[in-house]
Amino acid sequence: MKPALRRFWLRVHLYLGLAAGGLFALLGLSGSALVFYLDLDELLNPQTAVVQPAAAPSPDAVFRRLQALHPERDGPWRIEMPLAADRPLLARYYGPPETAGRGFAPLMLTLDPLTLAETSHRFWGDYAMTWLYDLHYTLLAGPTGRTLVGWAGVLLLVSLLTGLVLWWPGPARLRAALKPALRKGRVRLTYDLHVLGGVYGLVLLAVLAFTGVVLALPELARPLVAAVSPLAPGFRGPAGLVEEGGAAISLDAALASARRHFPDGELRWVETPGAQGRPISLRFHRAGEPGRRFARNQVWIDPGSGGVLAIRDTRQDSAGERFLDWMHPLHNGEAFGLAGRLLAFAGGLLPTLLLVTGWLRWRHKCAARRLSAARRVAAR
């Protein structure tokens, strides 16, 4: 590489790191914590822990309990089935009056799966893990913050690319350059840690950054994907499907109807129609699907007639839809189980390592330049 071109890439890499490295580190550290979102929330709130493991209750049993606990809340609920027998059942109520004007801030409940006792009653954003989620996804600044996060991911990808260009030893020396080595001496050790962290973490960081960009900037990502592979429009069922004074079908009946389409599926969540008479939505996880908690196989049921309004079968999805479905499970590591989550956790720590070692490397170079200048002056 010509010296002038190398100096250009070095400046780009340096100024990106100095200007945005703190943001990269913030997003990485918050992302590492969110990999274990549910586990940390239970650790911070031990009252939500399940005392006696139990099988998941029926949707109707849960909904009756929610109505008994909160009779004044007649809007839609989302009931999320436990991920394991020793996990609490989660429920959220959209649009509670207590958080009107705050954007996305539903009421969040946890229930014991055996007794259906309410073990926590909180609003999104008022407790640690949801506050951390908003920090990671929007920088606590709403849609503007989400856009900034997305473009930060783009800058991180550029930073990784420039770092790779500066490090690239050529094919003949590649094998030797990939051998991990930490030399003695503060300056050399700092350089080696920066290079090894960037080189060995390159693919992992690139995946996390790329998936983060797609998730944070769907208004840009989806049209690009659709230009290559068609994306089906999401189903939006109308309200008013239950006549005034009429009764909606039971959630168990809706589940029985939906199961005819996904007999091999694990029920993940149910959304109730509420007083507005919206469709009953049921989501199922099936083998081969990358994300379990946020499953994509879905059936919409007419709450008045019990008829099926729409179905989404991920096995019939286009390549573009499958690509988008992988983004969140890749970003949080869920796609590859515990090993994937541990990798995502480690990847979130790397920007801090690169920020600290990069800043120290810059300070070392500045000190070396000052010393060199002083020696030249002294030699005159």
pLDDT at 187: 87
pLDDT at 255: 97
Rounded mean pLDDT, 104-111? 97
**pTM of the entire predicted model:** 0.93
Q: Which of residues 4 and 122 earns the better pLDDT score?
A: 122
Digit-coded pLDDT (tens) for 64-90: 999 999 999 999 999 999 999 999 999
CA distance 337 to 223: 30
Digit-coded pLDDT (tens) for 24-36: 999 999 999 999 9
Q: Which residues lie below 8 Å from residue 257, measured CB to CB, with a gap of 6+?
A: 299, 301, 306, 308
Residue 361 has phi, psi (to 5 degrees) of: -60, -45
pLDDT at 151: 98
Digit-coded pLDDT (tens) for 280-298: 999 999 999 999 999 999 9
pLDDT at 284: 98
Q: How far apart are the first and last CA of the chain?
A: 34
pLDDT at 368 over 90: no
Contact 294, 37 (CB under 8 A): no
**∠ at Cα 238 (236, 243), nearest 5°?**
155
Mean per-residue pLDDT of the chain: 94
Rounded mean pLDDT, 239-243? 83
CB neighbour class for 376 (10 Å; exposed up to 12, middle 13-18, buried from 19)? exposed
For residue 269, list its beta bridge partners: 80, 283
CA distance 375 to 380: 9
- Alpha-carbon separation of residue 145 from 23, 139, 140, 217 (angstroms): 12, 5, 7, 11
Digit-coded pLDDT (tens) for 5-26: 999 999 999 999 999 999 999 9
Residue 58 DSSP label = P
CA distance 118 to 116: 6
pLDDT at 246 over 80: no
Tokens at residue 62, please?
Answer: 């849960």
pLDDT at 29: 98
pLDDT tier, 245 (very low <50, low <70, confident <90, very high otherwise): low
Contact 277, 248 (CB under 8 A): yes
Digit-coded pLDDT (tens) for 170-180: 888 888 888 88
Tokens at residue 61, please?
Answer: 């049993």
Portion of the chain with pLDDT greater than 90, in percent? 83
pLDDT at 239 over 90: no
pLDDT tier, 253 (very low <50, low <70, confident <90, very high otherwise): very high
pLDDT at 183: 87
Enumerate the H helices of the chain as residue ranges: 3-35, 37-44, 59-69, 128-138, 142-167, 174-177, 186-200, 202-216, 218-228, 251-259, 319-331, 337-379
pLDDT at 244: 67
The DSSP secondary structure of 300-334, one letter per residue, reads EE-TTT--EEEEE-GGG--HHHHHHHHHHHHHSSG
Collapse the DSSP code of 228 into the 3-class scheme (helix H, G, I; strand E, B; otherwise coil) and give the result. Answer: helix
Portion of the chain with pLDDT greater than 70, in percent? 99
Order of strands, sheet of 77-80, starting from the edge strand that comes earlier in the sequence: 118-123, 107-111, 89-93, 77-80, 266-271, 280-285, 297-301, 308-312
Digit-coded pLDDT (tens) for 182-224: 888 888 899 999 999 999 999 999 999 999 999 999 999 999 9
Contact 245, 304 (CB under 8 A): no
Which amino acid is present at 277? G
Closest CA to 130 of 112, 110, 152, 104: 104
pLDDT tier, 367 (very low <50, low <70, confident <90, very high otherwise): confident
